[in-house]
Chain A
Amino acid sequence: MTPADLAAHPILDPTLAPPFPQAALPVLRNPQLRKNVAHAIDVIQAKRAKLVQEKADWQELRAAASAIRNHALDNLAYYLELFETRCTAAGGIVHWAADAAEAREIVLTILREENATEVIKIKTMTSAEIQLNPFLEAAGVNVFETDLAEIILQLGEGEPSHIVVPALHVNRGQVCEIFARRLGLPDLSDDPQALTTAARNYLRKKFLYIPTAIGGANFLVAETGSVAVVESEGNGRMCLTLPRTLITLAGIEKVIPRFQDLEVMLQVLARSATGERMNPYTSLWTGVTPGDGPQQFHVILLDNQRSAILGRAKERQTLKCIRCAACMNACPVYRQTGGHAYGSVYPGPIGAILTPQLMQMHHAQSLPYASSLCGACYEVCPVKIDIPEVLIDLRAQVVDQERKRGARFFDPMFLGMKISNFLFAEAWRFRLAQLLGRFGLRWFTSKDGWIHSLPSLGAKWTQTRDLRGLPPQTFRDWWATRATDAGKEEK
């Protein structure tokens, strides 16, 4: 697959996606796309920074949010059963799905019982994770996304590149073109207000007549059996209120212990996600309320490798995530590559640790390396996931995997490491290598002291950045002469 093909049709299936460095090329070579991504990121980052600054107890809120999520995970079985009991008592129907295929089947079975040929959807990362839309379409169900960004992507046949603002890589001109073509509005202007109104008109009737909705959950409250959904546009409220039947798809890690815990989670979520003190709409509901909202309510609790992640000491924290996307907004790598390069519906630093684990480390092994380990993601994370720590641990797992494969012996990186291992083992070998290196590299070092291009394998480094030439004196040499120089001065 060439970079041009990838740019037009990014692959977000980790089993098929090319490795990160290859998948990143289309964006790196597309100045417009980089500009769109950088602009969006800068806006959110600035808003978030301002609001976090004004919050005097931000670090205390982070500590509490982190502790609540840790506690919920440490006692997950207890809280899941409590949620199930309370939700069922309130009229909800709780289903359990071990993997993506089971979850998709459960959704389809419910839709068949309802004779549903059309569904409206709230933006749900979990549904993207289990690739629900293509499955339902293949089964003859028309799926209508209702979040503005998701409509843009669905109508434009694009792929999400961010978990909160999925179409941030698309600019107004492109949105206008998509809406004009797909909604039959040739005279549409590219003013965001006009584009938003077009989306409102397109969906209004669908909200009123389609009797089945699928959504996700930001939080499942164990104590009450309630579900919370946060959003901005009101499409969520439409889907949660108007249909006859509502299906909520949620990962098992979404549970929080008590209703009161929302006082922490809601405060950190909106600030981290969109740089708002509070998102425009938060909906909370419990099972079925007679006369108000859907009278059939299903919750599907999805495992899909989460219980396996839970069992690993360092990786468990991955599940604390509340999907705010602050880590990708802060990430210097994401800022350059955008989301598609991650080859998964979960991009950015959280995607780099979550995706390989969801794939049981069979795919997406390049993602733990898609980071400079600068730690910006950890600093902004509202639930204090130490993403660099997990990245390093996953890298070790990738190396262990590769070591087991014999073919590794011919890999230049592996050979390089083996040779370094040999050289560093004895001081004289190291000094000899330094000496040879200094003489050897002299051929490639320009007058300004930098190496601009290296042959063969070295070119992999120098084609994207310069390398500083080796200094004429090593630190050890300098140290040795320094002692004698000082002696001389005293005399």
Chain B
Amino acid sequence: MNEFTRRAILDRVRLATHFPSKGQTTDSYLNLPRTYLSSGQLCPEDRVALMIERLREYGADVVESTVKDLPAAIATQLEAGGRHSFVAPPGIPPAWRDKKFDWKIDRHLTHDEIEQAEGVLTASYCGVADSGTIVLHHSPTVGRRILTLLPDWHLCILNASQIVESLPEYFQRCTQPPAVATFISGPSATADIEMTRIKGVHGPRFLNVILVNDQSASHSRAPKRH
């Protein structure tokens, strides 16, 4: 490593910025203007409705389900996709994996094995209604990044209680920043040729979302006071 270059660059930067101290830096950071909207105004039902509307605008396929009917809803969606071989992360409940289909659980699957799967089933971390964004923190129920990338068809389970209205609310939820995260807003797309939006370039071309009405949308957001 070239320590000389590193020192030279940092010295030039310090000289150009007149050597601010660490205390000055922290103070001025905390005083930055943040007058933008940091909390949503919609009621839980409207929030969910907005999420669905925005997802559909991107061309994602969205169905709603109750907690009890979720395994059946998953089976219906898998059936409708017309595909047979699926991969899933290890944390996915066995009840979600309908026996009619061919499942591979990702315990060190090779790239080729994942590539050969026709679809993938995962949970998610958060939904941002304003932009129709699904945030994946790559936990045991969401899986490695590659899992939601190579298969052409992604079925994603999102609970109503995981939906926030605006992006700043997602950041409020993250008390611990994730080491790895993927924000998905609709299926892969491009507008590089004459600004015509084409769905599906390299990522999954089909994004399917099952929105689970877990009935606690308003409760989970209230701070716990005991």
Q: Which residues of A contact B (CB under 8 A)?
A: 36, 39-40, 43-44, 56-57, 60-61, 63-64, 67-68, 71, 73-78, 80-81, 90, 95-98, 102, 146-149, 152, 165, 167-168, 170-172, 175, 192-193, 195-196, 199-200, 203-204, 207-208, 221, 223-224, 226, 232-235, 237-238, 240-242, 252, 257-260, 262-264, 266-267, 270, 274, 276-287, 289, 291-293, 301, 303, 307-308, 310-311, 316
Contacts and interface: CB of A to CB of B under 8 A. Distances in A.
A196 B170 contact: no
23 contacts: A36-B194, A39-B194, A43-B195, A63-B33, A71-B32, A75-B20, A77-B14, A78-B22, A165-B191, A192-B193, A204-B202, A221-B177, A224-B177, A232-B201, A233-B202, A234-B203, A238-B203, A263-B168, A280-B58, A284-B181, A301-B9, A307-B16, A316-B16
B222 interface: no
B13, B35, B145, B179 interface centre (most CB from chain A within 10 Å): B13
Contacts of A279: 185
B64 interface: no
Interface stretch (B72-80, B94-102, B125-133): B125-133
Contacts of A270: 131
Interface in B110-134: 111-112, 115, 128, 130-133
B111 A242 contact: yes
A73 B132 contact: no
Given A281-B182, A292-B144, A234 B149 contact: yes
B182 A282 contact: yes
A64 B32 contact: yes
Contacts, number: 244
Contacts of A148: 190, 192-193, 201
A263 B170 contact: yes
A361 B40 CA distance: 48
Contacts of A283: 145, 181-183
A292 B138 contact: yes
Contacts of B9: 96, 98, 252, 301, 303, 307
Contacts of B179: 90, 224, 226, 285-287, 289
Interface of B: 1-2, 5-6, 8-10, 12-17, 20, 22, 24-25, 28-29, 32-38, 54, 58, 108, 111-112, 115, 128, 130-133, 138, 144-146, 149, 167-168, 170-171, 174, 177-196, 198, 200-204
B70 to A, nearest CB: 26
Given A76-B17, A208-B112, A259-B177, A40 B167 contact: no
B145 A241 contact: yes
Contact of B12 (A192, A259, A308): A308
B33 A192 contact: no
A277 B188 contact: no
